[in-house]
Structure 1
Amino acid sequence: MPFQGLFNHCSRFCRETRGNVATIFALSLVPVALLSGGAVDLSQSMNARSRLAQALDAAALAVGVNTSLSNAQATQIANDFIAANYPGRELGVVQNINVSVDDVTDTVTVTGEARVQTTMLGMAGIDYITVHWESEVQRARQRLELVMVLDNTGSMGGSKIRNLRDSAELLTEILFDAADEPEDVKIGLVPFAATVNVGTNYERAWWLDPLAASPLHAEWAGGSTVEVETCTGRGRRRRCTTEEVLINHWDLFDDLRNTEWEGCVEARAIPMDIDDTPPSVGNPETLFVPFFAPDEPDNDRDYSNDYLDDGITSSLLGRLINLLKYDNGRPSGGGPNSACTTTPITPLTSNRSRLLNAIDDMEANGTTNIPQGVGWGIRVLSPQEPFTEGTAYDDREIIKAMVILTDGDNVMTGRSTDLRSDYSAYGFSAHGRLGTTSSSSSTLGNRLDDRLEDACDYAKAQGIRVYTITFQVNSSSTRDLMRGCASNPSLYFDSPSSEALEDAFEMIAGDLTNLRLSR
């Protein structure tokens, strides 16, 4: 039977099992590969969705900052921001972008989708995965009170101070342009160096201790009252009388020729040196003292501020408190305003022109005392005296913010003298107002760092949103200090160039446009 052999061969083939495992395994590789590759493709699509959300959020914020855009302009801005924030080469193409601006509800909606090419799912006929996202931004109807605390020290000279002016003016313009009403934004300015200038218009103001009642007034002389001996006659006819004389910085300025108080103030005692405890005549310790650097002893190179002839050759203290030398004295080199180098504070204002003019007037000179700048920044934002333009801290309709910029380390120069330092906002180191009597510049700088940390903590405890910027700072410890000062690390900006500085101010302006993502 010719078919019997063929039938037997087929039967044996069907019963054979030795090669089936390999065959089944080979066939199973196809769905396994599809599942594994599909997981990779799906993961890529989820990544694309996340990046699309970020890009559309940025686009919606950028459109929302501007209150008077045509539809074409809004769409162009959105497309530009999406292109800058979405990595198209890795994650496919963004398409079907739609921008909607609702002037009634004051919302901006940006929708779009990303088309991501698959790798393994193409074997199953799925060549692309499309993900969608919608971002909606609504302008928060909150008002803003911002103070810029800006380093105006000598190291900021030349192009650096020009770059700072330009960047600060950019932030100012963006914030005022984004305001629904001009009064919705108030901005103040605190230029700082070794001291802070409150403005000569406050001369002999009640809170500037006109009666020398503060225990820190004339601390360099041992207190605001000293005993002065006056003698007349000679020999047996010589008669001497002793009387208490009030040493008042205001009177000393009046006594000097061609010299007036230039507006700077000294630090109060710790912890009031950096907080906004309101001044009170009934509590002299809370009053501020006008900055007056006394004439230091003659003929000694270790003393840095000798500007009058001592007139006597007695002890150090005797020469310091020799008040007669100030009477009609003419300072030569240095002077009582030696560390007063900045332009005045501009209190919170909605007057754009006034603020821009103040920024443009900033000049670079002097050494660095960041905590005094921050302390006065807090007082500018505070509703309490001496500046009262700020609203209450617990007003939920107000965002209070501070921008702090420096280009270097805190500095207080130590000296190998009995006074142990140059005269600063904290007086001479020998009197311990900074919490140390060291003559080491390093130790004094570290103490200023400590005061800065406390000032930043105090500001944040009041609900102030703190942004910090370092501009071409080489010191890692100062960068770390300023990073820790910010309300959170993302609000710290290290700016190694003028371009980075401008970007930092622009990013801060964007964060302060009172916008919030509603979903």
Structure 2
Amino acid sequence: MRQAWRRCAAGIRAFAADRRGTVITFMAVAIVPLIGALGLATDAARGYMVRSQLSSALDAAALAGGKIMFSVNRDADIDMFFKANFPDGYMGAAVTGPSISVNDDKTKLSLSATATIPTTFMHVLGFQEMTVEASTEVTRSVDMLDLVISIDLSGSMGQPMTKIEGARDAAKNLVSILYGPNTVAPTYTVDGTTYNLLNIGLVPWNSKVNVGIAGQTYNPALTTTVTVPAFTNPVTGATGQTVLYKVNNSPVLFLRDPGTGWKGCVYARYVGDSSNTNDADLQIGDITVGGKYWPGYDPIPLLEGESRSGTWSGSSPDNEPSNTGWRNTNRSCYGAYWNDGNSSQPVAVPALPTWWHPSAPTISNPASSDCADCLAYSITPLNHTKQTIDDAIDALLTPAGTTNIPQGLYWAWEVLMPGDPFNDAVATVPFPRQRAIVLLTDGEIQGGNGDAYGGRFGSGTGAGTTTNSAHGFMPSPPAAANTRNNLNNRLKQLAANVKAQGIKVYVIQFDNTSSTLTTLLQSVATEPNAPYYYNAPTVDELKEAFNQIASNLSKLRLSM
């Protein structure tokens, strides 16, 4: 017994002293945390990848939804863009969301989502899955956009007709992009006042601008007078005038009665003397320039500034005196004869007005150069209904006449800004507002009888570049000293005045390769390159230019 006990004790001591298998035991104990650490690193990397993809998908979806914030399809588009960027089953993730939240005034769109993924190694520690979260916000700027589209409708825009057709399509596409799915402008209410966030007007022009309102017909029987404090007529020099004239189809006030047959056009507020210090064609509104007060505009009466058919005869359809000595000679507008600067004209034509300055023009045989007609297409004031502006653009069918870019820009500016005569723009708004003009032309400035300047700068492209001393120089300042007074330089100064008010000016040179025109139009635009200036030789490039301008006018920012 005692011997057996000794053998048992010896065996126990031998077992206790034996170190074989100890490492295996320790590894068995340590393997669990090692696997857990490896799993943590691996699953953390997977989680990071899933969260990164989740964030990218939310950003894309938020931007898509923000662009159509007011659309009934907004949430569906958000889901579509999210799924396109985070496909089902991505890395085995089960997604909840995106959750969509919009604030009361629809300026902020918030998205969030979670993704749950099964673990790989971490389940040995008891973690069967892990969840990651992501969120984003898109803040839509509460910006009002007031925009006027100013389209050259001179005769060359119809050569071929695909040019004006392309211009119409491009302009309507711009309108469509800006309106998105809406038929009327989105609104924003502050302190009980509701503002339309998108307002678009249209100004068609050629050698002059029809200042009537689109869709309204002139009725001379409805012309009324407006009594004003006595002033000196800035055109005729007559003192003590106390009335202005108001027609039924335009908000513009006139210095004289337009008369029967008036077509809708007005002269630029340009006196035509060599001092060039009293002219208001580079400013808008009721204004005093130099020594002259301009409370209204001078209309272009029918016989004075519209082309005439037929020949002089003993029996005039216009009830003019007969036996003029000009029988069987083609008749022209009165302005053409006045620009002759001599007395060789039919006695039926009124004597040269004292305020007309015929010495400046260089029109060759002006009596045979008839006046350019006023366009039948008039102004569409700022409005917030897509169909209204679409219809106005669709109506631009027949280009005619010559090119007077200054008037196209001038009346776009007048329509864009608050204050009479076109007082459709809201004076002030409690949030940022963009103002912009998109000016399209296919030609250099052309002068001629019956244009807004009465043909006083001469004919053809020379009106834009003339150095005739009779015109004098541009007022200096703001122009540089000894800057010649011509229509190109007047356009440059006009554009500078427009841009000084913070208005963005986009200019498209269409189907015209003239480097002279390029240089001029680049100086008119806010910047001499895209997105403010485009040279579009083709209709397709014209459409792309309008698309790029629309994109530039549509602002959206991502906030994280």
TM above 0.5: yes
Separation in 2, partners of 1:78, 1:497: 38
Query: In the alignment, which residue of structure 2 is the partner of 1:345?
Result: 379
Separation in 2, partners of 1:445, 1:394: 41
Matches for 1:117-196 after TM superposition, within 5 Å:
137-157=138-158, 158-177=161-180, 179-181=185-187, 183-196=196-209
User: 1:192 offset after TM fit, Å?
Assistant: 0.8
Query: In the alignment, which residue of structure 1 is the partner of 2:127?
Result: none
Change (3 A) 1:440 1:476: closer
User: 1:287 offset after TM fit, Å?
Assistant: 2.0
Change (3 A) 1:319 1:198: same
Change (3 A) 1:62 1:405: farther
Change (3 A) 1:101 1:440: same
Matches for 1:27-426 after TM superposition, within 5 Å:
63-67=65-69, 68=71, 69-70=73-74, 73-74=77-78, 102-104=101-103, 106-107=107-108, 137-157=138-158, 158-177=161-180, 179-181=185-187, 183-199=196-212, 201=218, 204=223, 214-216=233-235, 250=257, 253-254=259-260, 260-269=261-270, 271-278=279-286, 285-292=294-301, 293=304, 306=332, 316-317=342-343, 319=345, 322=348, 338-363=372-397, 364-392=399-427, 396-413=431-448, 422-426=449-453
- The question of whether the paired residues in 1 share the 8 Å contact of 2:536 and 2:542 is answered with yes
User: 1:173 offset after TM fit, Å?
Assistant: 2.4
- The question of whether the paired residues in 1 share the 8 Å contact of 2:403 and 2:443 is answered with yes
Separation in 2, partners of 1:166, 1:75: 32
- The question of whether the paired residues in 2 share the 8 Å contact of 1:468 and 1:492 is answered with yes
Change (3 A) 1:386 1:101: same
Separation in 2, partners of 1:316, 1:154: 31
Change (3 A) 1:187 1:206: farther
Q: Secondary structure at the match of 1:505?
A: helix
Separation in 1, partners of 2:427, 2:521: 26
Separation in 2, partners of 1:382, 1:249: 25
**Unmatched segments (≥5 aa) in structure 1:** 1-52, 82-97, 112-132, 218-222, 226-247, 255-259, 326-332, 414-421
Aligned residue among 497, 501, 507 for 2:548: 507
Residue by residue, what CA displacement relative to the aligned partner does 1:241-288 show, whole Å, maximum 9, x if unpaired? xxxxxxx9747x43xxxxx111011100264113213269x9654420
User: 1:474 offset after TM fit, Å?
Assistant: 0.8
Separation in 1, partners of 2:265, 2:538: 31
Larger radius of gyration, structure 1 or 2?
2
How many equivalent pairs are there?
371
User: 1:206 offset after TM fit, Å?
Assistant: 5.7
Query: In the alignment, which residue of structure 1 is the partner of 2:8?
Result: none
- The question of whether the paired residues in 1 share the 8 Å contact of 2:186 and 2:198 is answered with no
Letter in 2 for 1:476: S
- The question of whether the paired residues in 2 share the 8 Å contact of 1:149 and 1:190 is answered with yes
Separation in 1, partners of 2:505, 2:60: 22
User: 1:166 offset after TM fit, Å?
Assistant: 1.3
Separation in 2, partners of 1:59, 1:485: 39
RMSD: 4.8
User: 1:514 offset after TM fit, Å?
Assistant: 4.2
**Unmatched segments (≥5 aa) in structure 2:** 1-55, 86-96, 113-133, 188-194, 240-254, 271-275, 313-324, 352-366, 467-485
Change (3 A) 1:374 1:324: closer
Separation in 2, partners of 1:75, 1:477: 51
Query: In the alignment, which residue of structure 2 is the partner of 1:115?
Result: none
Query: In the alignment, which residue of structure 2 is the partner of 1:125?
Result: none
